[in-house]
Amino acid sequence: MSRRSPGPRFFRRPKPFAGGEVWIVQHDESPDNTVLGVFATDDEAYAFMDTVKDDYENGVICSSFSIPYRSTDGAVRYQAED
């Protein structure tokens, strides 16, 4: 008998984080820029952006952060999706 946990068969485990940087997807609808997701690769982040961008009037933004990240480390690259 299988000990597989119940759940959808199509669930794909995310790639393990290998270090370097993370990609954060946020929306720009509130002063807090609510985080919608954190991803190990830009491909995963941009794929997620495509699925949620129409849910927000002002779209979503994606930024990469080096690990470890501190707000005192310097500028952050922001990129708006068209």
| Span 11-47, pLDDT tens digits | 566 666 666 889 999 987 777 768 999 998 899 999 9
Instruction: State the pTM of this model.
Output: 0.62
Distances (CA, A) of 46 to 6, 7, 76: 29, 25, 17
> What SS3 state is found at 23?
strand
Distances (CA, A) of 3 to 6, 45: 9, 31
Rg (CA), the chain: 15
8 Å CB contact between 79 and 47: no
* Distance, first Cα to last Cα, the chain: 49
